[in-house]
Amino acid sequence: MTSYLGGRLVYALFVLWGALTIVFVAVRVIPGDPAQMMIGSEGTRQDVEALRHRLGLDQPLATQYARYLAGAARLDFGASLRLEEPATQAVSERLPATALLAGSAMTLAIAVGLPLGILAAIRIRSAVDYVVSIASLLGQSVPNFWLGIMFILIFARQFRWLPSAGIGGMEHLVLPAVTLALLLIGVLTRLVRSGLLEVVDEDYIRSAYAKGLTRRAVIARHALPNVLIPVVTIVGLQLGNLLAGAVIVETVFAWPGAGRLLVDAISNRDYPVVQVGVLCITAGFILINLLVDLSYAYIDPRIRYR
Amino acid sequence: MTAASMSAPVSMSSVPAAVGRARRRLLWWSAPLVAFALVAVVGPMVVPYDPVTVRLGDRLAPPGTLLPDGPRAWLGTDQVGKDLVAQVLQGARISLIVGVATVLAAGAVGLVAGVAAGYRGGTLDAVLMRLADLQLAFPSILLAILIAAVLGRSVANVIITLSVTRWVTFARIARASSLVTKEREFVTAALATGAGTLRLVRRHIVPFTVTPLVVVATVELGLVILAEASLSFLGLGTTPAHPSWGLIIANGRDYLTTGWWISTIPGLALSVVVVTVGQFGDAVRDYLDPHTGSR
């Protein structure tokens, strides 16, 4: 177990280094000098040079890279080029909003997707099954940014039930969280349904019925636990997509989260913020994958890590 | 196999029921897809999109309005009086071009990388697959956002961006089937008769990767069309000279109260196309690969 964790940790560091290096190269290939962009067209050549010096952009690439990695190890990426604060702080201030949004969406998706999937599997080829199938197909095909706009149009503009933008009480959370959750609900429902249908013919299910268990007990104690492994895997993988989806949903609903900050930072050439944002997302993704793999051992006692 | 039974003079009853059903489903779903392709190719010729002319007198006309100078704006006009029909048709063409070009480019790169990795093995395989893992460890839309920001906005750049984010899926599939194929007897036989590596790969390995790659390609097509719309929505895709559906939807966001149709209509078109492509992809998979069919 320890050596397994050690191996995963080394691999995680390798992936983080890869992501950091890709970002380092990418932001320096972007056309447009950030110093020139910050000062604008009125600035003199001397002003631009002074700023380039302050940002370290006049150093050789190798020196920049070494400084960059050393800074990354201390989680210090320097000051944001646009906001009057360190980049790490700018991102970490907005992370809770993103976490709230993604967490609510995930909770909602599990609370709705799991029961719907079970229902569709129990009543296979019934009206419920077809409705669930069509709904989950739509949930996966309809672009979430458009769906968000339609929600604003209907629930914020037409009926004026809910606010369309910003952060605040529960009512601000409803539309973005539902928009973000819909995709995941579709995936989960299909997965639970097909997983359950695959195990219904197994011997242990027949045995469970034969010893007199009710259908509820058979599903809850014998069928569902075997469906959980793919479900946990997909939920874990989808968390990454959820973070990515949050970028778009945050843009639609003007949600002050880290995703929107990252998109703004990319278009403003705010290197330090881009670097912190990418690092956070990659680290989160690695952590989620590790937790998913470790959880297998608890869900399925046959799995052991050495 | 199936191709032979189609051309040979046998009755339909000799075809297994499942194959017949899969074939009918494939035909059924290819019809709307052909219609989409036709609309995308012919539509902009019939109703040309003019990115320059502004008709402020016709601005924000709701769908079906008879414009003062004669024509009827069936889908309404936007905030500068441009007809939405022309924009949606032009957007269909962009979706089709980006979708097909990306799938072809990513498929070609994936095929070469995957077959090379699977057939050669060793260091090349390890390096390529680690690269693939590294890329998969990163949500593809975020990678696309980064690359698109580097390249700047244009149709060609969107295709490049999305190809870079999509090649991995093709490479993995091509690698998996070459790994299986290279162990089969006819490959050994070809080797024994003295076939060179290139000929061996081209004649004996690649043909067996085509079917799984076609299945992946049809599924990916829908994802690529969606990804293009998302990028354009974020302002990282096409330029206003080439109004993609994502761009029109983003444009309509500022006019939700006065012009609901601007965002609504292209989104509907996008959703219908993605659903259709998805169903077509499922049908292709069931038809080409009946063993892994969905229930």
As a three-state string, the secondary structure of chain B is CHHHHHHCCCCHHHCCHHHHHHHHHHHHHHHHHHHHHHHHHHHHHHCCCCCCCCCHHHCCCCCCEECCCCCEECCCECCCCCEHHHHHHHHHHHHHHHHHHHHHHHHHHHHHHHHHHHHHCHHHHHHHHHHHHHHHCCCHHHHHHHHHHHHCCCHHHHHHHHHHHHHHHHHHHHHHHHHHHCCCHHHHHHHHCCCCHHHHHHHHHHHHHHHHHHHHHHHHHHHHHHHHHHHHHCCCCCCCCCCCHHHHHHHHHHHCCCCHHHHHHHHHHHHHHHHHHHHHHHHHHHHHCHHHCCC
Cβ atoms within 10 Å, residue A304:
10
Q: Which residues of B touch A245 (CB under 8 A)?
A: 141
> Of the candidates A19, A248, A282, which has its C-beta nearest B230's C-beta?
A248
Question: Is pLDDT at B143 greater than 70 in this prediction?
Answer: yes
Q: Can you give the pLDDT at residue B269? A: 92
B234·A153 Cβ contact <8 A = no
B222·A141 Cβ contact <8 A = yes
Round to whole Å and give the CA distance between B53 and B64. Answer: 21
Question: Is pLDDT at B1 greater than 50 in this prediction?
Answer: no
Q: What are A243's two structure tokens? A: 């973070």
Mean pLDDT of B241-260: 88
Work out the percent of chain A whose per-residue pLDDT is above 70: 93
B150 to chain A, minimum CA–CA distance in Å? 4
Q: Can you give the pLDDT at residue B107? A: 95
Round to whole Å and give the CA distance between A238 and A292. Answer: 11
Are B227 and B162 spatial neighbours (Cβ–Cβ below 8 Å)?
yes
Q: Can you give the pLDDT at residue B272? A: 92
Mean pLDDT of A258-274: 82
Mean pLDDT of B75-101: 88
Mean pLDDT of A98-127: 89
Question: Is pLDDT at A250 greater than 70 in this prediction?
Answer: yes
Mean pLDDT of B126-150: 79
Between B63 and B265, whose confidence is greater? Answer: B265
Report how far Cα A98 is from the mean position of its chain's Cα atoms.
9
To test the contact with chain B by mutation, choose from A23, A98, A141 the residue with the greatest count of B C-beta atoms within 10 A, namely A141
pLDDT band of residue B246 (cuts 50, 70, 90) is very high
**Tens digit of each residue's pLDDT (9 = 90 or more) over A177-205:** 999 998 888 888 888 888 888 888 888 88
Q: Which residues of B touch A29 (CB under 8 A)?
A: 150
Between A254 and B73, whose confidence is greater? Answer: A254
> Of the candidates B138, B141, B271, which has its C-beta nearest A285's C-beta?
B138
Residue ranges of chain B whose CB lies within 8 Å of a chain A CB? 134, 137-142, 145-147, 149-150, 152, 222, 226, 229-230, 233-236, 246, 249, 252-253, 256-257, 260, 263-264, 267, 270-271, 274-275, 278, 294-295
Q: What are B132's two structure tokens? A: 């693939």
Q: What is the 3-state secondary structure (H, E, C) of A98-124?
A: HHHHHHHHHHHHHHHHHHHHHHHHHCC
Burial per residue of B35-51, b for 16 or more beta-carbon CB atoms within 10 angstroms, e otherwise: ebeebbeebbeebebee
B149·A30 Cβ contact <8 A = yes
Candidates B210, B207, B187; CA nearest to B197 is B187
A285·B295 Cβ contact <8 A = no
Q: Where is average pLDDT lowest: A157-166, B2-11, B158-167?
A: B2-11
CB under 8 Å to B278, separation ≥6 — which residues? A137, A140, A141, B219, B222
A194·B294 Cβ contact <8 A = yes
Between B295 and A298, whose confidence is greater? Answer: A298
Question: Is pLDDT at B9 greater than 60 in this prediction?
Answer: no
Mean pLDDT of B169-195: 89
Burial class (CB in 10 A: 0-12, 13-18, 19+), B164: buried
Q: Can you give the pLDDT at residue B15? A: 60
Question: Is pLDDT at B14 greater than 70 in this prediction?
Answer: no
The nearest alpha carbon in chain B to A282 belongs to: B138
Round to whole Å and give the CA distance between A60 and A34. Answer: 16
Mean pLDDT of A164-175: 81
Q: Can you give the pLDDT at residue B204? A: 87
Q: Where is average pLDDT lowest: A122-131, A265-274, B156-165, B183-192?
A: A265-274
Q: Which residues of A touch B234 (CB under 8 A)?
A: 247-248, 251, 263
To test the contact with chain A by mutation, choose from B127, B136, B146 the residue with the greatest count of A C-beta atoms within 10 A, namely B146
Q: Tokens 């992501």, residue?
A: A19
Candidates A292, A270, A281; CA nearest to A95 is A281
Q: Can you give the pLDDT at residue A247? A: 85
| Residues A230, B177, B290, A130, CA torsion sign | positive
The nearest alpha carbon in chain A to B231 belongs to: A248
> Of the candidates B138, B150, B271, which has its C-beta nearest A282's C-beta?
B138
Between A274 and B189, whose confidence is greater? Answer: B189
Round to whole Å and give the CA distance between A244 and A263. Answer: 11
Mean pLDDT of B17-21: 77
**Tens digit of each residue's pLDDT (9 = 90 or more) over B24-56:** 888 888 888 999 999 988 888 888 877 777 777
pLDDT band of residue B108 (cuts 50, 70, 90) is very high
B249·A141 Cβ contact <8 A = no
Candidates B32, B228, B37, B42; CA nearest to B140 is B228
B270·A146 Cβ contact <8 A = yes
Mean pLDDT of A90-119: 90
Mean pLDDT of B92-101: 94
Mean pLDDT of A47-60: 78
Candidates A131, A174, A144, A164; CA nearest to A246 is A144
Q: Can you give the pLDDT at residue A306? A: 57
Ramachandran bin of B64, using left for φ above 0, alpha for ψ from -120 to 50, beta for the remaining angles? left
Question: What ipTM is given for this predicted complex?
Answer: 0.82
Helix axes B260-288, B17-46, angle to 10 degrees: 150
Strand partners, B65: B73
Q: Can you give the pLDDT at residue A156? A: 85
Q: Can you give the pLDDT at residue A76? A: 81
CB under 8 Å to A84, separation ≥6 — which residues? none
Residue ranges of chain A whose CB lies within 8 Å of a chain B CB? 15, 18-19, 22-23, 26, 29-31, 137-138, 140-143, 145-146, 149-150, 152-153, 157, 194, 197, 240-241, 243-245, 247-248, 251-252, 262-263, 266-267, 274, 278, 281-282, 285-286, 289
Are A190 and A136 spatial neighbours (Cβ–Cβ below 8 Å)?
yes
Q: Can you give the pLDDT at residue B266? A: 92
Q: Can you give the pLDDT at residue B247? A: 92
